Amino acid sequence: MAINFGNALMALKVEKYHSINIIGFNSPEWIISYFGAIFAEVLPVGIYTTNQPEACHYICEHSKCDVVVVENVI
């Protein structure tokens, strides 16, 4: 499954050594996206679920992420 996620990142044309952000509680999906990013040679950057929206925006901007993986939409 992680390899499939890595392939999806490559299909989205996320460049090698760029970053993706992952926000969510510990779950299989978090691990799949983390290792999928590594398989695609992309840097996974975790965001705490307790962060305020401003902190999440700051992390996304400063990590120059290409994709944000979220657990759910509220």
Beta bridge partners of 43: 19
Task: Summarize pLDDT for 5-14 with one digit per residue, the tens.
Answer: 999 999 999 9
Q: Where are the beta strands (DSSP E) in the chain?
A: 19-23, 43-47, 65-70
Cα 35–Cα 38–Cα 39 angle in degrees, nearest 5: 90
Q: Where do the domains of the chain lie, and which CATH numbers do they carry?
A: 2-70 (3.40.50.980)
* Cα(9)–Cα(67) distance, integer angstroms: 8
- Convert the pLDDT of each residue in 23-61 to its tens digit: 988 888 899 999 999 999 999 999 999 999 999 999 999
- H or E segment at 55? helix 53-63
